[in-house]
A = this chain, B = another copy of it.
Amino acid sequence: MRQSQLLMPTLREAPSEAEAVSHQLLLRAGLVRQLAAGVYTYLPLGRRVLRKLEAIVREEMDKAGGQEVLMPALQPAELWRQSGRYEVYGPELVRLRDRHDREFALGPTHEEVITALMRGETSSYRQLPATLYQIQTKFRDEQRPRYGLLRGREFLMKDAYSFDADWEGLHRSYVAMYDAYHRIFARCGLTFRAVEADAGSIGGEGGTHEFMALADIGEDTIASCTCCDYAANLEKAEYGIATNHKADVVEPTKTKRLHTPGSKTIVQLTESLGLEATAFIKTLIFIADGKPVAILVRGDHEVNDIKVKQALGVVSLSLADQETTERVTGAPTGFAGPVGLTIPVYADIAAAQISSAIVGANEEDYHLVDVQPGVHFTYEASGDYRNAAMGDRCPRCEEGRLQFNRGIEIGHVFKLGTKYSEAMEATFLDAAGKAQPLIMGCYGIGVSRLLSAVIEQHADEQGIVWPASIAPYRVHIVPVSAKDETQMALAFQLAERLEAAGIEWLLDDRDERPGVKFKDADLIGIPLRITVGRQAASGIVEVKRRSEAAAKELSIEEALTMASMLAVEH
């Protein structure tokens, strides 16, 4: 492609509304333009990258046994009523009426449509399993669209749905998608984690993983191991508990009262006393199924509600209000401690292991020092009641430690079970001739969001650094001077050779200063740049990978070899 004929409006400055790096670069490199909040047009370069992402997704879906379909965006509200989601979904669901006043939704997802389809087309277990997928435009009326393609209102998704006759079948379908997702994201050049996500209220007897691309702009926190591939959302992260660790055997001592006026938080205490947070035990009063309990965690740790609920076997759990805390502890919030409490006390393992701790004194402006768990107070039980923390051991492998990252959700696999098939009466006849609800899984990838995620991970000060697998072009040919006939002739000769080898090229034939050309080249980030300059007459060009600083002087043949190697790499 000749650059002079390409609609590629690069910008020197990022528009002020773009916060995320990827959003800035999408605009600056001329990949997209905003039409309305969260609604974008993909310009030629952006469309090319999107098509490469689509191709990778399609290829891996097909390999994993998926069958491609295409479902409509217009969905009758009636179907959403059958599943029970029409009222529940809230204002994110775009609703409209047709000319005959019939209600429709613009699909943010297609569980209802596919379940209604399979309800009509599946009669026997012999037609199962089946996994159907589509790459299709979705609509979600976000309250605050932002970060460019990361949170848009109209976006491209791959959504897949599996149908099985039993739970073992669902598991096989799930694993096939899970594995395909790994291949897809790896081929896109992404650093990502498959995270054990909290099923929340959707889950059946299932599992669910979120695929998170690591990036600071991400809205979720992920714990992952430095050695193995363990990863989980913060809320669900486990960690290796050092069970062999025992509190040092020390002589029982007496506790001391310490005057700590106004110091209600660990931060205030560590500052005023000059001690590490690990020296403290935090005492938090919760209401568990209506009754007050005290949860103890080490000063540097955070209580994890989900773990506490599970450990205590309660349904509801919430922090006690100030009044309850004062009634239970006899002191205002900030000075609660385990010593002398009459309500049940539960100590997180790390808190129980402190041999000599500082705790609240249950008295305003006072703390107790030299408190020995099990000696100066007792507890109902000790267990894992806290969030994983930086430096914790990996729960899966021997050597690893947990690290924390922010992540962008790029994919999600989910065992739906019979949630939709039961609500919508989508059944099949099993081998015994009995009607059974279809057992379903659903699997999403934010295809347009991938574009942003890749840029978040593959950019530098100058611009985008595309992985070759999804770059809009593989080779950028830049003649230094459009007026130099020798340079232009060699540049076009190179283009012809690349074309013949099936390698996509962009040739900057614009009559611009070299500085402008190089700046644009770095901005749009094509993997290999071949600069045709003064040595064109002797057939020497300068070859530079976008990802490397150094350039090499090579002959035409060497340059072509390098270009074709790059094409093979991915």
Contact partner of A39 among B74, B121, B137, CB < 8 A? B74
Q: A116's closest neighbor in chain B, by CB?
A: B35
> A336: shortest Cβ distance to chain B, in Å?
43
Q: Does A252 contact B (CB under 8 A)?
A: no
Min CB distance A495 to B, Å, is 16
Chain A 95-121: CB-based contact to B (< 8 A → 1; otherwise 0)? 110110010101000000100110011
Interface of chain A, main secondary structure: mixed
Proximity string of chain A (115-140) to chain B, C-beta cutoff 8 Å, 1 when within and 0 when not: 01100110000010010101001010
Also in contact, A33 and B67, with CB within 8 A (given A41-B72, A99-B91, A154-B74): no
| Measured CA separation A378–B6 after assembly (Å) | 64
Inter-subunit contact B121/A7 (CB<8 Å):
yes
A142, closest chain B residue (CB): B99
Within 8 A of B (CB), among A26-51: 33, 35-36, 39-44, 46-48, 50-51
Contact mask for chain A residues 80-100; partner B; CB cutoff 8 A; 1 contact, 0 none = 000000000001101110110
Residues from chain B with a CB closer than 8 A to the CB of A104 are 36
Q: Is A75 at the interface (CB under 8 A from chain B)?
A: yes
Q: Are B67 and A7 in touch, CB under 8 angstroms?
A: yes
- What are 30 A-B contacts with C-beta separation under 8 Å? A5-B67, A5-B130, A7-B67, A7-B121, A35-B75, A35-B117, A36-B72, A36-B104, A41-B69, A41-B71, A41-B117, A42-B69, A42-B70, A42-B71, A44-B69, A46-B70, A47-B70, A48-B68, A50-B70, A73-B73, A73-B137, A74-B153, A74-B154, A94-B98, A95-B96, A96-B96, A96-B106, A98-B153, A99-B141, A137-B137
Q: Which residue of the partner chain B has the closest CB to A130?
A: B7
A1 to chain B, nearest CB (A): 8
Given contacts A41-B117, A99-B143, A141-B99, contact A47 B68 (CB under 8 A): yes
Chain B nearest Cβ from A124, distance in angstroms = 12
1/0 contact string of A210-226 vs chain B (CB within 8 Å)? 00000000000000000
Contact B35 A76 (CB under 8 A): yes
- Is A539 among interface residues, defined by CB-CB distance under 8 A? no
Which residue of B has the minimal Cβ distance to A132?
A: B7
**Contacts known (A7-B121, A7-B132, A117-B33); A39 close to B72, Cβ less than 8 A:** yes
| B117 and A71 contacting across the interface, CB-CB below 8 Å | no
| With A68-B47, A73-B73, A76-B36 as contacts: A9 and B121 at CB distance below 8 Å | yes
Separation in Å of the A33 CB from the closest CB of chain B? Answer: 6
A→B interface (CB under 8 Å) = 5-7, 9, 33, 35-36, 39-44, 46-48, 50-51, 65, 67-76, 91-92, 94-96, 98-99, 102, 104, 106, 113, 116-117, 120-121, 127, 130, 132, 134, 137, 139, 141, 143, 153-154
Q: Nearest 9 pairs between A and B by C-beta?
A: A96-B96, A42-B70, A44-B67, A91-B99, A9-B121, A39-B72, A41-B71, A47-B68, A99-B141
Contacting residues, chain B, for A69 (C-beta < 8 A): 7, 41-44, 47
**Bound CA span A9–B119, Å:** 12
- Chain B residues with CB under 8 A of A141: 98-99
Contact A44 B72 (CB under 8 A): no
Closest chain B residue to A67 by CB distance? B44
Residue in A46, A69, A106, A127 with the greatest tally of chain B CB atoms within 10 Å = A69
Determine the distance from Cα of A127 to Cα of B4 in the docked complex, in whole angstroms: 7
* Closest partner residue, chain B, to A121 (CB atom): B9
Q: Which one, B67, B95, B98, contacts A6 given CB within 8 A?
A: B67
- Which chain B residue lies CB-closest to A1? B67
Give Cα A46–Cα B143 distance, bound, in whole angstroms.
36
A509 → B minimal CB distance (Å): 12
The distance from the CB of A258 to the nearest CB of chain B, in whole angstroms, is: 54
Q: Judging by beta carbons under 8 Å apart, are A68 and B44 in contact?
A: yes
Q: Cβ of A9: which chain B residues have Cβ within 8 Å of it?
A: 121
Please pick, from B96, B130, B132, B154, the residue contacting A94 in the complex, using a CB distance under 8 A.
Answer: B96
Most B Cβ at <10 Å: residue of A35, A40, A73: A35
Across the interface, A154 reaches (CB within 8 A) one of B72, B91, B120, namely: B72
CB distance from A29 to the nearest CB of B (A): 14
Which residues from B are CB-within-8-Å of A50?
A: 70
Q: How far is the CA of A35 from the CA of B117 in the complex (A)?
A: 8
Least distance between A449 CB and chain B CB atoms (Å): 15
Residue of B nearest to A43 (CB): B69
